[in-house]
A and B are shown apart, each in its own frame.
Chain A
Amino acid sequence: MPEMHFPWLELSILIPLMGSVLVRLPKNREFARKLCVAICVLTLACTIGEFWDFASLDRFEAHDHGGLLSYLFRQGLFVVDELSAPLFPLTALIFLMTFLSTLKTKLDRFSLSGTLVSESILLATFSCRAGWLLVVLLALGTLPPLIELAYRRREGIRVYAIHMGLFVACLIAGWALLPSEAYTMDAATISSKLTFRFLLSGALLTIAGLIRSGVAPLHCWMTDLFERATLGTALLFVVPMPGVYALMRLVLPIAPSWALQSIAILSLITSVYAAAMALVETDARKFFCYLFLSHASLVLVGLELVTAVGLTGALCLWLSVGLSLSGLGLTLRSVEARMGRIDLSRFHGLHEHTPILAGLFLLTGLASIGFPGTIGFIGTELLVEGAVGVYPLIGMAVVVAAALNGIAILRVYFRVFSGTQFSATVSFMAKREERFAVLVLTLLIIGGGLWPQPSVASRYHAAKALIQKRLDQEVSHPPPES
C-alpha cells in the first residue's frame, strides 16, 4: 500500500488532542476560544494537506507516513482511502466553524477542551478501517456528550446512556462474534457451523450502526440529546455521521444484498417520517434534529443501494449535507445565542436584525435539499436516480422526503426571520468571525454547486472502487447460505 509523504493523519489527530490540554491553561475563556480556533486552523491545514497528498497519489488507499503513533503501535495504524479522504477536511472545517461562531455568552457552557477531544476521536475514527481500534474509537466517541450532560449541565442521561450503551454493546458483541477473517475469508471458511454466528454478528453490527445513525424507531436519543446538550455539542456529535461510517466499514463489505436493501428501505421510511416530523415540529432544535435525521437517512439509502449511481449520490450527499446542515445548525445556534430557545409556533421577525444569518439559513437550507446551483443539487439528483433505478416505486419516497424537507425549511425560515416586527435593545448583528464563517460556507456551497464535476468524479471513483471490492469478495468469498 502506498504511503503519504507526511504524517498528515497523525498530526491532525494529535494537534486537537494536545490542544485540548493546552486550552485548559488560560483563565481567560475568550483567549482560550481563540486558541481553539488556531488549533482548529492547524488541524484543518493538516487535513487539507492529507486530501491533497492523497489525491496526488491517485490510489484507492494509502497509509499515513510513519510517525510517533506508528512507531509506538505498528506501521499502518491510520489509513486513508477514497471514502474517508474528504471526510477529514469536512470534519475539521465543521469543528473550526463551530468554534468561530461560539459567542462569549456561550463559553461557560460549551466545553472547549472536550470538543477538541471529540474532534481528535472523530478524525481518528475516520482514519480507521474495520478493526478493534475502530470499535474502541466509536465507543469512545460517545463519551464527551455523556460527560457534558452528566457533569456540566446536570441533565438526565438515561435516554442517551441507554441507546449509546446498546450501541456499544452491539458493536463490541458483533465484532467479537465476527470471525476474525470475515473481511478476507473465502467461501470454504464460512462453513455451515459458522453461519448463525456470522449472521448474528452482522445483525448486531447493523443494529449498532442503525442506532448511531438514528434510524427509526431507534432515534429518540437524538431528539433527547438536542434538547439537553448544548447545541454545538449535539451538532458535532451527529453531523459528521460516524454511524454511517461505521455501517460503511463494518457492514457493507460483509452484508448480503438483501440485508443492505432492508436497511435502505428502513432508512427510506425514516427519511420520510423525519421530514414529516420536521414539518410539524415547534421547537427549533428538534426541527433541526429531524431535518438532519431525514438527510442522514437519505445518505444511508444511497449507500445501501450498492449501485454506482446511488452510491455516488450518497457520497456526494454525505459531503453536501455535512457542510450545509452544519451551516444551518450553526446559524440556529447563533440565533439561539441571541434569543434563547426558538419557539416555532410563533413568528420572530429577526430578518432586519440579522440579515446575514437569515441569508445563510436560507442558503444552507436550500443546499441541504439539493436546490439547483448549490452543492447538494447533483448529489440529490444522483441519489434519486439511483433509488428509482433500484426501486421504481419505493424510490419515489426520496422525492417525497426532499419535497417535505423543502417545505419545512422555508416554514422555519419564515417563522424565525419574518412575520412580525421585532425590537431589541441590543445589537443582533453578526460578529466579524461569524461573518467570516458565513462567507466561507457560502463560497463552498455555491462554488461546489456551480462546479460540481471534480467532486462528483472523485465520489464516483470511490463508489466504483467500493462496489468492486464488494464484488471481488462476493466472487471469491460468497456469503454464507442459511
Chain B
Amino acid sequence: MTLETSIHFFGVMVVAAPAVLLSMLGLSMLFGIPLSEKSTSRLTQSSVAIGLLAVLSILLLMLWNGDRHLPIEMGNWVSIQEQHFHFHLKFVFDRLSIPFTILTFVLCGTIGAFAKVYLHREPGYNRFFLLYSVFLLGMVVSSLAGTIETLFFGWELVGLSSALLIAYFHERQTPVINGHRVWSVYRIADAAFLVAALTMHHLTGGGDFDGLMGSGPWPEGVASIDPHAALVVGLLLLVAAAGKSGMVPFSGWLPRAMEGPTPSSAVFYGALSVHLGAYMLLRVSPLLDVSFPLRVCVIVMGAASALFGALTARVQTDVKSALAYASLTQVGIIVVEIGFGFHYLALIHIIGHALMRTLQLLRAPSLLKDYHTLEDAIGGHLPQTESIIRSPQRGGSPRLYRFCLERGHLDAMIDRFVVRPFEKTFLWTGEMERRWTRFLSGDRSPQVDQARWEHPSINPEPRETTTQRTATQPITTQKRMSATVLTSGQLSTRENSDA
C-alpha cells in the first residue's frame, strides 16, 4: 500500500466511521429492530475509536512525510459540467482540521462513555445515540470540509441534532419550545450561510476553499477576491457564525439549549457546536486579511459577546446557564483573537476551552451534591467570592443587575420586534382570508369530524376545533388564541429567567 493510498484509505475511514454508525442506528429504527443499550454503546465506541485511529494515522503519516495540507478528493457528488455547477466532495487535512477532528472524536468518545451510564434505562436511550451519531457525522464533515457546500452539509446536521437533543425530554413543553427557538435561530444563520455560499460560487466559480483562499496551506493562504466582495461574503458568514455560536445578538438561545440532557449540553454548548462558528471563521480567515472593515466587525462582535457573556454569567442562578454564558465569554475572546489574526492562539484556545468546559458541565450536577455534603459536614455555608455584579440589596446598580439578570433583554427584544409583529401580521392576513372565504361560501362553514374529537378514549377533554372556532367566534377570540401561542415562547423566557 503506497503512502498516497494509505492516506486516502484513512481519510475515507475518518468520515465513513460516523456515517456507518448513523446508518446502522437509523436502519435499526427504520426496520423496527431496536438495539440493546449494550449494542448501541459498543457500536458507538467502535465508530469513535476507528475514526480517531484513522485521523491519528493521517497525522502521523503527514508528520512523517512533512505534509501540511492533504486534500482527499471524493469526486463530484453532483455535477452539471456545462453549467459549471458541481457539488464537490472534498475533505482537507491540515493544521486546522486535524486538531479539531481529533478534539471532536475525543470529546464525543468521552461523552458517549458518560452517556452510556448517565442515560441507562432511559426510554429515549437509542434516540439519544441516533442524534449523537448525526451530530458526530456533522462535526466531522464540518471540520474536514474542503468546500463550502461540504461545510454546509455538516453544519446542517449539527443544527438539526442540536435542536432535537434540546427537546430530548419531549414529554415536557419547555424543552420543546426551547428546541424550536434554537432551531429558528439556526435556520436564520443557515440562510445567511447559504447566501454566502452562493455569493462565493459567483465570485470564484466554485465553492472550493482553495479557490477562495489561494493555494497556500492554512493559515497562510491569500484570498483571491476583492475587498468589497470579501466584506459581503465575510459579513454573511459572520452572521452564520454568530447564530451557530450564540454570539450577540443571538445569545438568547444559549441558556435555552441547556434543557437537553447533560451529556449533550456538554458536547454541544460547552465543547464543539458552540465553537463551530469560530472554527468556520478560522477556516475563512484569509478573508479577514483582505477586508479591514470585516476584521473590525469580527473584533467588535467578539468583544461584545465576551463582555455580555462575562457580565451575564455572574448573575445566573443555575449552574448550566452560568456555564453557558461563561462559554460565550471564551468564544467571544476566541473570535477577537481571530479578528486580530492570532490563528494558532485561537485554535489552542478552542481546544483548551472545549476540554475544560466539557469537564465542568459533566461535573456540574455531582459538584452541587458534593457542595451540599461538604456544607452539611462543616455545618455552614462555604465562603463565597463577591461577584462584580452585585444585586441592589448589596449595593449594586439595579439597572446593570436587571440587564444581566434578563440576559440583556435579547430574547424579549426578538420577541417584541420580530416574532410578535410577524405573528400579528400573518394572523391578520389569515383572518382576512377566512372572511373572504366565508363570504364566497355564503357563510357556510365546514363540517368537522366532531364525533372523533369527542371520543372519550382518545380525547379526554373534548374541545371545539379551530375550524369551528373560526366560523362561529369573533376575531377577538382569535386574538386571544394567538396570544396563547405567543406567550408560550415568552413563558420559557420567564421560566429561564426565574431559574
Contact = CB atoms under 8 A, between A and B. Distances in A.
B32 A351 contact: no
B369 interface: no
B188 interface: yes
Given A340-B455, A420-B173, A456 B440 contact: no
Contact of B194 (A155, A162, A399): A399
Given A280-B423, A414-B167, A156 B194 contact: no
Contact of B198 (A349, A385, A417): A385
B85 A382 contact: yes
Q: How large is the interface on A (under 10, 10 to 19, 20 to 34, 35 or more residues)?
A: 35 or more
B139 to A, nearest CB: 14
Given A279-B426, A414-B167, A371 B440 contact: no
Contacts of B448: 341
B80 interface: yes
Contacts of B179: 410, 414
A372 B459 contact: no
B180 A414 contact: yes
A457 B78 CA distance: 9
Given A309-B83, A381-B87, A456-B78, A372 B452 contact: no
Nearest to B453: A340
A455 B421 CA distance: 41
Contacts, number: 190
Contacts of A276: 422, 425-426
B30 A442 contact: yes
A388 B198 CA distance: 8
B76 to A, nearest CB: 8
B163 A158 contact: no
A345 B80 CA distance: 45
Interface in A239-292: 273, 276-277, 279-283
Interface in B147-193: 149, 152-153, 156-157, 160, 163, 167, 170-173, 176-177, 179-180, 183-184, 187-188, 190-191
Given A155-B447, A385-B85, A345 B481 contact: yes
A407 B455 CA distance: 32
A435 B80 contact: no
Given A385-B201, A406-B187, A407-B183, A280 B430 contact: yes
A453 B79 contact: yes
B114 interface: no
Contacts of B442: 156, 158
B430 A281 contact: yes
B4 interface: no
B386 interface: no
B466 A220 contact: no
A368 interface: no
Contacts of A95: none
Contacts of B473: none
B465 A159 contact: no
A343 B156 contact: no
Interface stretch (A168-176, A221-229, A472-480): A221-229
B452 A340 contact: yes
A340 B32 contact: no
A315 interface: no
B82 interface: yes
B448 to A, nearest CB: 6
A351 B163 CA distance: 16
A456 B80 contact: yes
Contacts of B463: 343
B433 A345 contact: no
Interface string A452-463: 110011001000
Contact of B467 (A283, A414, A419): A283
A344 to B, nearest CB: 8
Nearest to A351: B170
Contacts of A158: 440-442, 444
A277 B85 contact: no
B171 A420 contact: yes
A414 B164 CA distance: 10
Interface string A392-414: 00001001101100110011001
Q: How large is the interface on B (under 10, 10 to 19, 20 to 34, 35 or more residues)?
A: 35 or more
A419 B198 contact: no
Contact of B170 (A345, A419, A435): A419
Contacts of B173: 347, 419-420
Contacts of A220: 433, 436-437, 440
Given A384-B198, A407-B183, A420-B171, A280 B482 contact: yes
A418 interface: yes
A188 interface: no
A223 B156 CA distance: 32
A156 B481 contact: no
Contact of B180 (A154, A155, A410, A464): A410
A417 B170 CA distance: 8
Contacts of B187: 403, 406-407
Contacts of A277: 426, 429-430
B170 A309 contact: no
Contact of B458 (A159, A224, A340, A388): A340
Interface stretch (A5-13, A27-35, A111-119, A421-429): A421-429
B427 interface: yes
Interface in A156-186: 156, 158-159, 162
A439 interface: yes
Contacts of A389: 202
Given A339-B458, A339-B459, A308 B170 contact: no
A309 B80 contact: yes
Contacts of A419: 170-173, 176-177
Contacts of A338: 458
B457 interface: yes
Counting chain A CB atoms within 10 Å of each CB, the highest count among B191, B447, B449 belongs to: B191
Contacts of A162: 440
B64 interface: no
A308 B459 CA distance: 52
Interface string A356-392: 1001000000100001110000100110110011000
B447 A153 contact: yes
A103 B407 CA distance: 50
A356 B448 CA distance: 27
Interface string A324-352: 00000000000000111101110101011
B195 interface: yes
A127 interface: no
Contacts of B348: none
A320 interface: no
A4 B171 CA distance: 56
Given A280-B427, A378-B87, A400-B191, A341 B449 contact: yes
A345 B485 contact: yes
Contacts of A456: 78, 80
B78 to A, nearest CB: 5
Given A382-B85, A399-B195, 9 more contacts: A283-B467, A340-B452, A340-B458, A373-B153, A400-B191, A410-B163, A418-B170, A419-B172, A453-B78
12 contacts: A276-B422, A279-B422, A343-B463, A345-B484, A359-B30, A371-B160, A389-B202, A399-B194, A399-B195, A406-B183, A407-B183, A410-B163
Interface of B: 29-32, 76-80, 82-83, 85, 87, 123, 149, 152-153, 156-157, 160, 163, 167, 170-173, 176-177, 179-180, 183-184, 187-188, 190-191, 194-195, 198, 201-202, 422-423, 425-427, 429-430, 433, 436-437, 440-442, 444-449, 452-453, 455, 457-460, 463, 465-467, 481-482, 484-485
Interface of A: 153-156, 158-159, 162, 220, 223-224, 227-228, 273, 276-277, 279-283, 308-309, 312, 338-341, 343-345, 347, 349, 351-352, 355-356, 359, 366, 371-373, 378, 381-382, 384-385, 388-389, 396, 399-400, 402-403, 406-407, 410-411, 414, 417-421, 423-426, 435, 438-439, 442, 452-453, 456-457, 460, 464
Name the 6 nearest CB pairs between A and B, nearest first. Answer: A418-B170, A340-B452, A156-B444, A425-B457, A283-B466, A227-B446
